[in-house]
C-alpha cells in the first residue's frame, strides 16, 4: 500500500502463485548497463535470485512472478530489447524441493 492507503497494482501483478525461473537475452554491453540492470532486478520484490551473464548477454531470474510482466518491466526501465529464452514454472507443492538458485542453460 502507498501513503494514501491504496494498494499499488504494479506490485501485485508479480504475484502469480507459481515459482518461476526465466532466462532472458538482454544486450548489456558495458559495466554501466550491467549495474543498471542489477539495480532494476534488485528493486523487483518478486525476484528472489538472479544471475547476470554479461559475456553471453543472458539474465536468469527466479521468484514468484509472471514472466511476461518482469520482461516488460525490465524492457521499459532499460530501454533495451528483452527476449525470453526459457521459462520453467513450478507448482506450490514442489517449491520446497527447489534449490532457489538461478538455472544456467548449457
Encode pLDDT of 26-74 as tens digits: 999 899 999 999 999 999 999 999 999 999 999 999 999 999 999 999 9
Nearest Cα neighbor of 20 from 78, 76, 92, 81 is 92
Phi and psi for 50 in degrees, rounded to 5? -150, 160
The C-alpha angle with vertex 29 and arms to 23 and 35, in degrees rounded to 5, equals 75
Please determine, for residue 98, whether its predicted confidence score (pLDDT) is greater than 70.
Answer: no
pLDDT of residue 105: 59
**Is there a contact between 51 and 6 (Cβ–Cβ < 8 Å)?**
no
Question: Dihedral sign, CA of 5, 40, 62, 72?
Answer: positive
pTM: 0.71
Looking at domain 30-106, does it have CATH number 3.30.70?
yes
Phi and psi for 64 in degrees, rounded to 5? -100, 95
User: Span 72-82, mean pLDDT?
Assistant: 95
Please determine, for residue 6, whether its predicted confidence score (pLDDT) is greater than 50.
Answer: no
pLDDT of residue 55: 93
Amino acid at each position: 500500500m502507498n501513503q494514501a492507503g491504496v494498494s499499488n497494482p504494479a506490485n501485485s501483478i508479480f504475484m502469480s502463485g507459481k515459482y518461476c525461473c526465466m532466462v532472458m537475452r538482454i544486450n548489456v554491453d558495458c559495466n554501466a548497463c550491467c549495474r543498471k540492470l542489477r539495480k532494476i532486478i534488485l528493486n523487483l520484490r518478486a525476484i528472489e535470485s538472479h544471475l547476470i551473464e554479461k559475456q553471453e548477454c543472458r539474465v536468469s531470474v527466479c521468484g514468484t512472478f509472471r514472466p511476461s510482466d518482469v520482461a516488460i518491466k525490465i524492457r521499459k526501465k532499460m530501454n533495451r530489447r528483452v527476449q525470453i529464452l526459457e521459462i520453467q514454472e513450478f507448482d506450490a507443492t514442489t517449491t520446497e524441493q527447489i534449490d532457489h538458485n538461478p538455472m544456467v542453460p548449457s
